[in-house]
Structure 1
Amino acid sequence: MNSFTAHIPRLAGGLVALALSGCASLLGPGLQPGVSTRGDLDAAMGAPALRWAEADGGERLAYPFGPAGYQTWMAVLGADGRLVSIENVLEETHFARIRAGMSQDEVLRTLGPSYPGWTVYYKARDELVWEWRYCDVFREPARFNVLFDGTSGKVRSTFSSTERLSMPWGRGNRRDWCSR
């Protein structure tokens, strides 16, 4: 056995550890439910874009990483100021929670803020559209849209599509963007 093949297991282990540490850094160093505090969140994630008081005395905080990013982290703090949960909400399971008749605040509490530059009002339909960018289950860049009644501010419907479909003739495969 040559010296290179003898080091393959150690090299593979190092690569796995490096990959996992890269994923952990997305949540900041050491963020742990039940242990981390608001100060830890601020140090790791910066200032939240939106905050809501919870009925139990806790707080819900939104940390969007866009518009070019594909994640919005929603953190929930308990009344004691400790982290209860933190998760990326720009994924299909959270999109499925958006229902006709929901208010704009309910949508914000579920998905966090959309990118203002992609907010469009269609006068002829009296319709306001908010849009979020995310990576779909096939690891392809996509957009999720919520269509609101312009007068009542309630959800009418939702839809999503890959970014590739908005390009002429289906060009613009950007799957490598979602694999980073």
Structure 2
Amino acid sequence: MSFGAVLAVLASCASEPTQLPLGTSRGEALQRLGQPTAVYPLPGGGERLQYSRAPAGFEVNDVDLDAAGRVVAIRQVLDDRAFDRDIQPGIGVWREADVLRTYGRPLEVTRVSSFDGVVWSWHYKSMNTRRLLYIYIDPQGAVARYHTGDDLEFERLPR
């Protein structure tokens, strides 16, 4: 491998949130990862630095800092193994702000005739298969339900 290729690999690791060591300071995290796509306050005085690769990408990485500004958790959240644990449908349980704080801005916001509200969607990959996460938000801003489905965007393109 050439010296330039080694530098490119090292640079890509430096900007990969999941490679950031726990305990890293906020300043060092920003230096290594760059500006986040969003910043959200967390309970207890901490904050979340969110790094989304949307709309073209398939990952959203949440980097959680404690009140002292140290990294305490890093997680790639667009993972169908975690949706049941993370998404909390029900009257007033999970709201738009919770969805944004976890997944960031959606790829698309649409409406469907069978639901009185909006449907937010995100691209993600499951075992290298393109998928979509759909979260249904009622008119009061509460999450009513969610489901996943195949992303058929490339199937619709003329061949």
Structure 2 length as normaliser, TM-score?
0.77
Structure 1 range deviating more: 157-166 or 69-78: 157-166
Return the offset for 1:124: 7.4
* 2:132 is the counterpart of 1:143: yes
Change (3 A) 1:22 1:89: farther
Structure having the larger proportion of residues in helix: 1
Contact 1:94 1:111 in 2 (8 A): no
Identity %: 27
Written as runs of structure 1 = structure 2, the 5 A alignment for 1:53-68 is 53-68=41-56
The counterpart of 1:107, out of the listed 96, 99, 116, is: 99
Could you tell me how far apart the structure 2 residues matched to 1:93 and 1:110 are?
Answer: 15
Counterpart selection for 1:164 from 141, 145, 152 = 152
Say which structure, 1 or 2, has more relative contact order (CA 8 Å, 6+ apart): 2
Aligned to 1:42: 30
> For residue 51 of structure 1, what is the aligned residue in structure 2?
39
Any stretches of 5+ residues in structure 2 without a counterpart?
A: none
State the Cα deviation string for residues 107-144 of structure 1 (Å, max 9, x = none): 222222222xx1113477432111111111x2111111
Q: 2:17, 2:61 within 8 Å by CA — same for their partners in 1?
A: no
Equivalent position amino acid for 1:160 in 2: T
Instruction: Extract unaligned runs of 5+ from structure 1.
Output: 1-10, 12-16, 173-180
Pick one of 126, 150, 158 that aligns with 2:116: 126
> How far apart in 2 are the matches of 1:61 and 1:146?
22
The alpha-carbon deviation at position 22 of structure 1 amounts to: 8.2
Cα distance in 2, alignment partners of residues 25 and 140 from structure 1? 26
Give the conservation status (yes or no) of the 8 Å contact 2:18–2:76.
no
Contact preservation (8 Å) 1:74, 1:112: no
3-state SS in 1 of match to 2:45: coil
Q: What is the CA distance between 1:49 and its match in structure 2?
A: 2.6
Contact 1:94–1:110 (CA under 8 A) maintained in structure 2: no
Distance in 1 of aligned mates of 2:141 and 2:42: 22
Computed over aligned residues only, the root mean square deviation of the Cα atoms, in angstroms, reads 3.1
* Residue aligning to 1:4: none
Please tell me whether Structure 1 or Structure 2 has the larger radius of gyration of its CA atoms.
1
Q: Is the 8 A contact 2:18 2:61 kept in 1?
A: no
